Chains A and B, each alone.
Chain A
Amino acid sequence: MKTIVGLEIHVQLSTATKLFCGCSTDYRDDEPNTHCCPVCLALPGALPRLNKRAVEYGLRVAKALDMKVLEESEFARKNYFYPDLPKAYQITQYDKPLAVEGTVEIEDDEGHEKIVRITRVHLEEDPGRLVHVAGGSKYSLVDYNRSGIPLLEIVTEPDMRSPQEARRFLNKLRTVLEYLGVFDGEREGGLRVDANISLEGSERVEVKNISSYKGVEKALTFEVTRQKNLLRRGQRVTRETRHFMEGRGITTSSRSKEEEHDYRYFPEPDLRPLRVADWVAAIDLPELPTARKNRFMTQYGISLNHARTLTGDPKLADFYEAVAHVDPVLAATWVADTLLGELNYRDMGIAAVPVERIAELLALLRSETITDTAGVQVLREMLDTCAAGKPCEPPAMIVEREGLARATGDEFTQVVEKVIAANPHAVEDYRAGKKGALNFLVGQVMKETRGRADPRELGKIVSEYIDTGGV
């Protein structure tokens, strides 16, 4: 049974001010109702004024997604009552959106490239925020700080075939938006998704209110199972709107009344039309993820997987490029695998990591001054220091202080001799052909040298030592 998914994504654009007034969008951690003016409060008599940068950001996205920008586009009023919507209409775009017909390339479930078509993008304003008072209060509380934040709504064709494809699409889209510098990925609720999902031949269900891109796969997976179960039991899927309950990972049916909305759209008489199609040519797009990924593979000779991971976040890609000069392949492994893993573990962002220090660490690894194992220890120590907000020591100092330099010469020989002497049984087992015994002995040496020896090299030395009966 084919799964058919289409998405509507609302992206908060990272402008300094709201879409129709000069109130600052940077209200995080601020008191409620402190980023408001007559316009975004819908005081009588106030008039909207369009933020030019929001239009430019919209056009940047349109160009990056290879869309057709309409000769003339205009704003319209979408009329409905809701306590978070101060004007009782949302200024949005209806039959004349900013741009139509674009594409995004993703990987399908078999790992092949596929195209997801973009239907349209348009600008609109965010409503205020409702806070529901706990304890059975009969009223809601409204904060208008968010009222008027610029949103770009991106609508896709129903081109995705699984919840996983939908996730990959969103990841890709998010990366593109971050590359374009129009979206702040770290902003909570900065990307919200409504998903349309149907099983081929069945009615379509709209899942609303998915406020994280990770939630989309969850919500859709739940829906696929729910809809398949219905059909299996011989029931029908009803065409309806459902809400995603992020915490419980399920969707629930919302009142059908919402589907009876009659929005009475008409052109916003307080704003003038846009004629901006000819601005597109002058827009200088940055290198986008796909192009950058391809360049990384050819320029640095790194694997597809590493290139994909590194270009998945523009800041990570920039970081990589800043340290690649030490040794591009070594740097790719360390940044994409080790560093990223350690950052995720600490819930740290790449921005907090000092480029120079990592370059120095890579140089120590490249010159074989330290082993990989010691390198991980040094890295952890550096990240812990950064996470604690302290200045990060040069890795060479950590190596020195902790005595983590690769063990060589006499020190090395002494440890091997000591371990062999202390483990006669294991030596016997090895001589009797038990290969596992060698690993044990190597492990003991590693332990003694705290990772300062290279395990592969060590295996060779230990076996030679036993085989020849001495150094």
Chain B
Amino acid sequence: MAGTLEFSPDDRYNAFITTCRQAPFSDGALAGTAVAVKDNISTKGIQTTCASKILEGYVPPYDAYVVELLRQAGAAIVGKTNMDEFGMGTTTETSAFGPTQNPADPSRVPGGSSGGSAAAVAAGLVPMALGTDTGGSIRCPAAFCGIVGLKPTYGRVSRYGLIAYANSLEQIGPMAQTVEDVSKLMSVIARYDPRDSTMIDRPYDHRPSAEIKGLRVGIPEEYFGEGVDPRVAESVRDAVGILEGLGAETVPVSIPGMRHALAAYYVICTSEASSNLARFDGVRYGPAVDTRKSWHEAYQDLRQELFGAEVRRRIMLGTFALSAGYAGKYYAKAQIARRNIREDFERAFCDADVIAGPTMPTTAFRLGERSDPISMYLSDILTAPANLAGIPAISVPCSTVDGLPVGLQIMGRQFEDERVVDAAFAYEQEVRA
């Protein structure tokens, strides 16, 4: 079975940057399935922009490994989804191609940065999509839009072809309406790729199981405290109660390093970003630099004009955090904080098999609501720790607050993606039954 999928969606939420009206597909596990790909994942022959003007018109001459795998599995790649510019945001509002709206409530943001992928799935335009998660960018929009999203263990999915924002933190991951589809997409993309030196050869071959009797679920106090909307906390506690009803037992755990997590996360991601985004100079790709100007002036003008404000702010923050005289205070301290957090999780996972909490401290914001950087950054507090620790984390919908979706987040030990999928599956099966 092979052919072409006609794809002409009613993209009323601005979920896509590029759509492929005639998407070829072939035989395989995903034969003929429409899959949307976040626009920071390279697709050979299809424009890949990272939602930035600086990459407008860039057509990669190669496929990211996950895209190669999708094609091999027979999927039809139907489009490239909207996102925060270079993944730098929690709302998909920093896209150079306009914000995406939340299908659950179009006056609200879909979350970010993989907001386009989440909205495309939530609106039923595609059954599955790929997102990327640097500090919560899969789980946040999954929670805000009421779908399922998995951030895999660091090193489990190849980053080859993912346009880097923060290399040491990010992973590509699956997003879908159901845990089963997330698991199915994960088993396609989690294959060893020697081109990503940070990978470990642990392919994911798993069918979700709802059997969680005896599963020890860690409840970290830090995930239910200050800054978390009490109604969100309440609905997540209810969800944990359902897990208990299925035979899981809860244990209190603590991640004391959480108080440093967000600062450490922002120092690390902006530092890496400042270096990663330095290559965008209009020479080899993207809108052309003005070669009549002197080179510093030419680069500065191009980068001022074509990068959005948040991207420029993060590049400058990272530049500062690495600069002479400050690297010890910021970058080096952030690395220590990161290791402390990783060790906190390791300790917690001695007592618990998975850790559960809310994905986001609140429900989806109104469009334009979070305009100052700090208040936006603070909303990553519950998701960024899993990226710092490199552990798998899934967001699965659990009830609503004021009609807006709330996400239950389940984190697991490194390379125990299967276990978090099972826990999420058990919950989903129970509440959907």
Q: Which of B161, B167, B292, B327 contacts A139 (CB 8 A)?
A: B292
Report B-chain residues with C-beta under 8 Å of the C-beta of A77: 275
Report B-chain residues with C-beta under 8 Å of the C-beta of A136: none
* A41, A48, A142, A264 — most chain B CB neighbours (10 Å): A264
Q: How far is A218 from B112 in the complex, measured between Cα atoms in Å?
A: 60
- Is A44 interfacial (CB 8 A cutoff)? yes
Contacting B at CB under 8 A, from A248-294, are 262, 264-266, 269-272
Q: Mark A73-88, 1 if CB is under 8 A from B, else 0.
A: 0000101010100111
Contact yes or no, B272 A41, CB < 8 A = no
* A44, A47, A49, A86 — most chain B CB neighbours (10 Å): A44
Q: Which of A50, A83, A89, A142 contacts B197 (CB 8 A)?
A: A50
Q: How far is A271 from B296 in the complex, measured between Cα atoms in Å?
A: 29
Contact yes or no, B292 A45, CB < 8 A = no
Closest to B63 in A: A45
Contact yes or no, A88 B283, CB < 8 A = no
Q: Which of A41, A89, A139, A269 contacts B278 (CB 8 A)?
A: A89
Query: With A81-B296, A139-B292, A264-B327 in contact, do A44 and B283 touch (Cβ < 8 Å)?
Result: no
Contact yes or no, B279 A49, CB < 8 A = no
Report B-chain residues with C-beta under 8 Å of the C-beta of A466: none
Contacting A at CB under 8 A, from B257-286, are 271-272, 274-275, 278-279, 281, 283-285
Closest to B58 in A: A44
Contact yes or no, B198 A272, CB < 8 A = yes
Q: Mark A40-61, 1 if CB is under 8 A from B, else 0.
A: 0111111111100000000000
Q: How far is A49 from B198 in the complex, measured between Cα atoms in Å?
A: 10
Least Cβ–Cβ distance between A80 and chain B, in angstroms: 9
Contact yes or no, B319 A269, CB < 8 A = no
Q: Interface residues of B: mostly helix, strand, loop or mixed?
A: loop
- Is B159 interfacial (CB 8 A cutoff)? yes
Contact yes or no, B291 A138, CB < 8 A = yes
Q: Mark B37-53, 1 if CB is under 8 A from A, else 0.
A: 00001100000101000
Q: Mark B63-95, 1 if CB is under 8 A from A, else 0.
A: 010000000000000000000000000000000
Q: Which of A45, A81, A264 contacts B323 (CB 8 A)?
A: A264
Report A-chain residues with C-beta under 8 Å of the C-beta of B296: 81
Contact yes or no, A45 B197, CB < 8 A = no
Contact yes or no, A272 B197, CB < 8 A = yes
- Is B127 interfacial (CB 8 A cutoff)? no
- Is A354 interfacial (CB 8 A cutoff)? no
Contact yes or no, B292 A47, CB < 8 A = no
- Is B394 interfacial (CB 8 A cutoff)? no
Q: Which of B64, B198, B323 contacts A262 (CB 8 A)?
A: B323
- Is A38 interfacial (CB 8 A cutoff)? yes
Least Cβ–Cβ distance between A31 and chain B, in angstroms: 17
Contact yes or no, B323 A138, CB < 8 A = no
Q: How far is A43 from B284 in the complex, measured between Cα atoms in Å?
A: 8
Query: With A81-B296, A87-B278 in contact, do A49 and B291 touch (Cβ < 8 Å)?
Result: no
Least Cβ–Cβ distance between B193 and chain A, in angstroms: 9
Contacting A at CB under 8 A, from B16-54, are 41-42, 48, 50
Closest to B293 in A: A138
Contact yes or no, B162 A45, CB < 8 A = yes
Q: How far is A38 from B42 in the complex, measured between Cα atoms in Å?
A: 11
Contact yes or no, B275 A264, CB < 8 A = yes
- Is B410 interfacial (CB 8 A cutoff)? no
Closest to B280 in A: A44
Report B-chain residues with C-beta under 8 Å of the C-beta of A138: 291-292
Report A-chain residues with C-beta under 8 Å of the C-beta of B322: 79, 264-266
Report A-chain residues with C-beta under 8 Å of the C-beta of B283: 83, 86, 142
Least Cβ–Cβ distance between B170 and chain A, in angstroms: 10
- Is B331 interfacial (CB 8 A cutoff)? yes
- Is B60 interfacial (CB 8 A cutoff)? yes
Contact yes or no, B291 A43, CB < 8 A = no
- Is B160 interfacial (CB 8 A cutoff)? yes
Least Cβ–Cβ distance between A219 and chain B, in angstroms: 27
Least Cβ–Cβ distance between A278 and chain B, in angstroms: 21
Q: Which of A43, A79, A262 contacts B275 (CB 8 A)?
A: A79
Contact yes or no, A44 B61, CB < 8 A = no
Contact yes or no, B284 A41, CB < 8 A = yes
Least Cβ–Cβ distance between A347 and chain B, in angstroms: 39
Query: With A47-B195, A262-B323 in contact, do A87 and B331 touch (Cβ < 8 Å)?
Result: no
- Is B201 interfacial (CB 8 A cutoff)? no
Closest to A42 in B: B279
- Is B163 interfacial (CB 8 A cutoff)? yes
Q: Mark A17-49, 1 if CB is under 8 A from B, else 0.
A: 000000000000000000000100111111111
Report B-chain residues with C-beta under 8 Å of the C-beta of A271: 197
Report B-chain residues with C-beta under 8 Å of the C-beta of A89: 275, 278
Least Cβ–Cβ distance between A90 and chain B, in angstroms: 11
Q: How far is A139 from B292 in the complex, measured between Cα atoms in Å?
A: 6
- Is B324 interfacial (CB 8 A cutoff)? yes
Report A-chain residues with C-beta under 8 Å of the C-beta of B58: 44
- Is B142 interfacial (CB 8 A cutoff)? no
Q: Which of B160, B295, B327, B331 contacts A47 (CB 8 A)?
A: B160
Q: How far is A196 from B331 in the complex, measured between Cα atoms in Å?
A: 31
Q: How far is A262 from B319 in the complex, measured between Cα atoms in Å?
A: 10
- Is B256 interfacial (CB 8 A cutoff)? no
Contact yes or no, A269 B160, CB < 8 A = no
Report B-chain residues with C-beta under 8 Å of the C-beta of A43: 42, 60-62, 284-285
- Is B299 interfacial (CB 8 A cutoff)? yes
- Is B234 interfacial (CB 8 A cutoff)? no
Q: How far is A43 from B60 in the complex, measured between Cα atoms in Å?
A: 8
Report B-chain residues with C-beta under 8 Å of the C-beta of A142: 283
Contact yes or no, A270 B163, CB < 8 A = no
Report B-chain residues with C-beta under 8 Å of the C-beta of A265: 322
Contact yes or no, B279 A48, CB < 8 A = no
Contact yes or no, B48 A266, CB < 8 A = no
Closest to A50 in B: B197
Closest to B196 in A: A47
- Is B399 interfacial (CB 8 A cutoff)? no
Contact yes or no, B271 A266, CB < 8 A = yes
Q: Which of B42, B61, B295 contacts A83 (CB 8 A)?
A: B295
- Is B164 interfacial (CB 8 A cutoff)? yes
Closest to B193 in A: A47
Contact yes or no, B279 A45, CB < 8 A = no
Q: Mark A144-182, 1 if CB is under 8 A from B, else 0.
A: 000000000000000000000000000000000000000
Contact yes or no, B331 A266, CB < 8 A = yes
Least Cβ–Cβ distance between B77 and chain A, in angstroms: 16
- Is B254 interfacial (CB 8 A cutoff)? no
Report A-chain residues with C-beta under 8 Å of the C-beta of B279: 42, 44, 86-88
Query: With A45-B42, A49-B195 in contact, do A79 and B278 touch (Cβ < 8 Å)?
Result: yes
> Could you list 29 examples of A-B contacts with CB < 8 Å?
A41-B284, A42-B284, A44-B48, A44-B58, A44-B164, A45-B64, A45-B160, A45-B161, A47-B195, A47-B197, A50-B197, A81-B278, A81-B296, A81-B299, A83-B295, A88-B281, A139-B291, A139-B292, A142-B283, A262-B324, A264-B323, A266-B271, A266-B272, A266-B275, A269-B167, A270-B164, A270-B198, A271-B197, A272-B198
Query: Given A50-B197, A88-B275, A269-B198, list of 10 further CB < 8 A pairs?
Result: A41-B284, A44-B42, A44-B50, A45-B60, A81-B278, A83-B281, A264-B323, A266-B275, A269-B272, A270-B196
Question: Which 9 A-B pairs rank lowest in CB-CB distance, beginning with the nearest?
Answer: A88-B278, A264-B322, A139-B291, A269-B167, A269-B168, A44-B163, A45-B161, A45-B42, A262-B324
Binding site for A on B (CB under 8 A): 41-42, 48, 50, 55, 58, 60-62, 64, 159-164, 167-168, 194-198, 271-272, 274-275, 278-279, 281, 283-285, 291-292, 295-296, 299, 319, 322-324, 327, 331
